[in-house]
A and B are shown apart, each in its own frame.
Chain A
Amino acid sequence: MNRALSQRATPYWLTGPALLVFLGLVVIPLVMTVLLSFYDWGQYKGIVPEFTLKNFHEIFTDSYFFEIFLRTFRIAVLVTLFCMLIGVPEAYILNRMSPAWRGICLLAIIGPLLVSVVARTLGWALLLGSTGLVNQGLMAAGLIHAPLEFMFTETGVVVALIHVLIPFMILAVWASLQRLDPQIENAALSLGAGRLTIWRRVILPQIVPGMLSGGIIVFALAASAFASPAIIGGRRLKVASTLAYDEFLNTLNWPLGAAVAVLLLAALVAITVGSNRLIERRYAQVFE
């Protein structure tokens, strides 16, 4: 082999092993899952490899499934909104701290990311239960008389998911805050702008791309979250991922579970790719 040719082959040798592993362990299983979603299933006959649209037809016509998908979407939207509402000011405050303090606070904010989501959700279950600290505190303060029901409610799931996912929003917004010109606030100040105007007209427009990309991450993870909805929501309050889990491991209707998973994947890919395109088109001119 001549030298130029071997040079050109180098990157393929280097990426080859990873590529083989991914073809074998990502592409093939995903294709098999998509195929599975089109298979037939019966209580006694099990999985029958015959092409049918039955599973998708069932999901789109049964209001039970519609409600679960709607709930999944509603939870994801609420979690994303609250993460923005809390995460953006928090990132701004963090950005203005002295480096030493910021380091400590980052430990408290990013640290939970490394703790198993099961342990974190358990904490919320302990806090939010009818005898949990939140209810006891509210009752002691005389704000409520009977314990509020958080467990097995959407509110509880949303609170737990905000806790799990807000670090991603803070990191995304913080990254865009760090790209701001450190003198930009002084520039606006010298031109006569007040604090509120500076926020609205100068800071916010520049961190919108960070907020949106953080929002996409949070939305995608909230819509596909499993452990938190399973623990807080329980069997009564199902979302798309816990529905798929039940179909696979309890009902054993694998083709239907696969169809739920395929729909979830398709919806998320469409939403994330679509909004990424939109953001890029909208902001390409200003930021690059």
Chain B
Amino acid sequence: MSHLVLEGLGKSYGSAVAVEALDLSVERGEFVSLLGPSGCGKTTTLQMIAGFVPVDRGRILLDGGDLVAVPPNKRGLGIVFQSYALFPHMTVAENIAFGLEMRGIDKAERETRTLEAMALVGLKGFADRYPKRMSGGQQQRVALARALVIKPALLLLDEPLSNLDAKLREEMQSELRQIQRSIGTTTILVTHDQHEAMALSDRIVLMNQGRVEQIGAPDAVYGKPASAFVASFLGKTNVLRGTGDGSGAVSIGAFTLPIPGAGTGPVQLAVRPERLHLAAAGAPGFEARVTSRVFQGAHWLLTADSAAGPLILMRHNDGQPVPAEGETVTLSFAPSDAALLAPGDAR
């Protein structure tokens, strides 16, 4: 039995469907991200789990018990809000102890657990500060400590890092990951930031227009996108036009490679820019003409035209010569680096 199971969970606002019918199982201790563009239903899903938005259809099972009828203040979940929603009139210690107080825990234990939680998030010595007198990163830590101190069955994170600047965000990502690992609380993160989702999670749930597009480990979803939407939402990708011969082979010009499952006629393959290689002259491959090249420090970004369509590819800045604009090159890729997109699922 999984720790958290969402069964056919759905929500509509009038005739607009916010979440269609979401099925998801989360194991104990797992870190799962709900990822997608704004309006994809990820936040509504989180709010239904938290109990702030009434559920229209389906069930939310936590250790087998249905949460749908449980009021939000009895669910015992820890939540970190995008705005942190700290109580501005309470000190850091009072903020963190609030949930313990609501549970009727005596003062001595409240104090010990508050201090523990503050140590966990690296806020020792900030007990008597007011939130307004703290930086965004510090406020974020208070919010995390406040959610964790009640030992929640689930930790729900609603875009927790989106208000931080890029550098701080990266620091907090690794710290968040490390804290979650050490206490082992099952965590669900809602984010629109693909890098954040890939850096933090065990599994990613990619959502679009209220539906799940793909569920899987970050590298699996990135490497084998199930649809053109996933391929384009997660990182940069090339969609190559080829022709299937009906026996599991696809050819792009003179370049033929085995792609199991490909049908007959036009097919589309998704290949990441970093997996397109420059082939030696005469080696198998297809021809492309470089149209621009941009230096980006650690690598060069090239764009090219080919019979399979326009392409982008990356060359590591490893001292090897880089093709100039206007030059014709031969490109190839391994069959395992190509994901076959569903027919008609064009970009």
Q: Give yes or no for direct A-B contact (beta carbon below 8 Å).
A: yes
CB distance from B76 to the nearest CB of A (A): 7
Q: What CA separation (Å) do A194 and B98 show in the bound complex?
A: 12
Question: Residue A184 contacts which of B76, B85, B133, B146 (CB distance < 8 angstroms)?
Answer: B85
A186 and B103 contact, CB distance less than 8 A: no
**Assuming the A-B contacts A190-B73, A192-B73, A194-B73, are A206 and B89 also in contact, with contact meaning beta carbons closer than 8 angstroms in the complex?**
yes
Query: Which A residues lie at the B interface, using CB under 8 A?
Result: 181-184, 186-194, 197, 201-202, 205-206, 285-288
Q: What CA separation (Å) do A187 and B139 show in the bound complex?
A: 14
- Chain B positions within 8 Å of A192 at CB level: 73-74, 76, 99, 102-103, 150
A286 and B88 contact, CB distance less than 8 A: yes
Given contact pairs A181-B84, A192-B150, a sample of 4 additional A-B residue pairs in the complex whose CB atoms are under 8 Å apart: A189-B72, A192-B99, A206-B88, A286-B130
CB distance from B239 to the nearest CB of A (A): 40
Question: Residue B83 contacts which of A181, A189, A191 (CB distance < 8 angstroms)?
Answer: A181
**Assuming the A-B contacts A181-B83, A285-B130, are A189 and B89 also in contact, with contact meaning beta carbons closer than 8 angstroms in the complex?**
no
Query: Which B residues lie at the A interface, using CB under 8 A?
Result: 50-52, 72-79, 81-89, 98-99, 102-103, 130, 132-133, 146-147, 150
B87 and A190 contact, CB distance less than 8 A: no
- Chain B positions within 8 Å of A187 at CB level: 79, 81, 85-87
Q: What CA separation (Å) do A181 and B87 show in the bound complex?
A: 9
Main secondary structure, interface of B, reads loop
Q: What CA separation (Å) do A193 and B82 show in the bound complex?
A: 20
B99 and A189 contact, CB distance less than 8 A: no
B87 and A202 contact, CB distance less than 8 A: yes
Q: What CA separation (Å) do A285 and B129 show in the bound complex?
A: 10
**Assuming the A-B contacts A189-B72, A193-B73, A288-B132, are A184 and B87 also in contact, with contact meaning beta carbons closer than 8 angstroms in the complex?**
yes
Q: What CA separation (Å) do A201 and B132 show in the bound complex?
A: 18
CB distance from A94 to the nearest CB of B (A): 22
Give the nearest-CB partner of B103 in chain A: A192
**Assuming the A-B contacts A186-B81, A189-B73, are A197 and B89 also in contact, with contact meaning beta carbons closer than 8 angstroms in the complex?**
no
Question: Residue A287 contacts which of B78, B83, B88 (CB distance < 8 angstroms)?
Answer: B88
Interface centre among B78, B86, B102 (most CB of A within 10 A): B102
Q: What CA separation (Å) do A148 and B72 show in the bound complex?
A: 49
- Chain A positions within 8 Å of B83 at CB level: 181-183
